[in-house]
Amino acid sequence: MTRRRVAVAMSGGVDSSTAAVLLKEQGFEVVGFSMQLWDQRRNSETGAAPRFGSCCSLDDLYDAKKVAAQLSIPHYVVNLEHEFEQQVVRAFVGDYSRGLTPSPCVLCNSFMKFDHLMRLARDVEADYVATGHYARITRDERSGRYLLWKGLDRERDQSYFLFGLNQDQLAHAMFPLGGLGKTDVRQIARRSGLEVAEKPDSQEICFVADGDYSRFVENYLREDGGSATCLAGEVVDREGRVMGSHQGIHRYTIGQRRGLGIAHSAPLYVIDIHPHNRRIIIGERPELARTAFHASGPNWIAFPSPARPFRASVKIRSRHAEAPARIVPLAGDVLRIDLDAPQMAVTPGQAAVFYHGDQVVGGAWIARDP
């Protein structure tokens, strides 16, 4: 009987490396793929040395190659810089320029790992694409749908970032670490003699190595023949009184407190952003609370598009506690989320992911109110 072939997305970190180890131990024929996504020499200050992040750098590609050699599996580096720029980086810059706060890791998972890489996997006749995500997949025999679940390690669960996967992608995805904790993963890596066993986790967005999102946006716009100065404007309160000025809406996000530079008797926060007139709206903390919001572009996993309202727990940021809510479908792929209790800093551009217990129902993108 021919062994099933699995393409493993190898980032050079301990998680994806351990996923490759486990699959090989389970008898799969493993092929490693590493994606070259971004040239850090771009978007650097003139005369400055490029800064590389702790994810998807040249060092990571080298680590992935070493792990593949140690496991005696084929390893390919694929250049997807153009695709990554068009589908992830441009969306990132565009969202910040429109006063949104993007979540590029969701787009990277949907478009890069489980779209482009899945097509490359088929070229080598691989049945599945596996990653080091902490999440789980099952198949509902009654409905035939593939279901997405949280990883058993709640501190490491990454199901939030995977809500955009469609049924075909889920049918051909594998998450070998879904039932493990980080301690288990590092122990397996040590047992296998992998040098990456103690490698620190990546924390930042891979193409913004220093974490300075506003500088990245400004440099990218400049490189693209534009300028961020057109994003500058006024800082006003909810009544429209001008409190100051700012150097660009891309420098702010809902809930931000630092960098406002305005004296007030109580702490002030960004409570809204109006891109049409480039205004930053500020207010005190209670003004951040929301009891309802809209979301668009939903993707449904547990069932097809719902016709009626339903209840679920909603997570409005990856590290935010879930909140009970009523999800109301509206016309044109728009949802209204009515929260049982007010939530702070609901941020347009971020993902709202819906759960029934450990199961991912689906998700959508938080939108400005119509």
Residues 326, 316: contact at Cβ < 8 Å? no
Q: Work out the end-to-end distance of the chain between its first and last CA atoms, rounded to an integer number of angstroms.
A: 57
Query: Cα–Cα distance between 38 and 242 in angstroms, integer?
Result: 40
Residues 285, 267: contact at Cβ < 8 Å? yes
Query: Is 105 one of the annotated active-site residues of the chain?
Result: no
Query: Cα–Cα distance between 353 and 161 in angstroms, integer?
Result: 9
Find the catalytic residue in 56, 105, 206, 230.
Answer: 206
Find the catalytic residue in 55, 56, 105, 108.
Answer: 108
Strand 29-36 with 5-9, pairing? parallel
Find the DSSP H helices in the chain: 14-25, 58-71, 81-84, 90-97, 104-107, 117-123, 167-171, 182-191, 213-223
Find the DSSP H helices in 271-362: none
Query: Cα–Cα distance between 101 and 190 in angstroms, integer?
Result: 38
Q: Could you write out the DSSP letters of every residue in 225-266? A: T--GGGG-EEEEETT--EEEEES-GGG--TT--TT-----SS
The CA radius of gyration of the chain, in Å to the nearest whole number, is 22
Q: Could you write out the DSSP letters of every residue in 61-80? A: HHHHHHHHHHHT--EEEEE-
Query: Is 206 one of the annotated active-site residues of the chain?
Result: yes
Would you please indicate which residues are annotated as catalytic (active-site) residues?
Answer: 108, 206
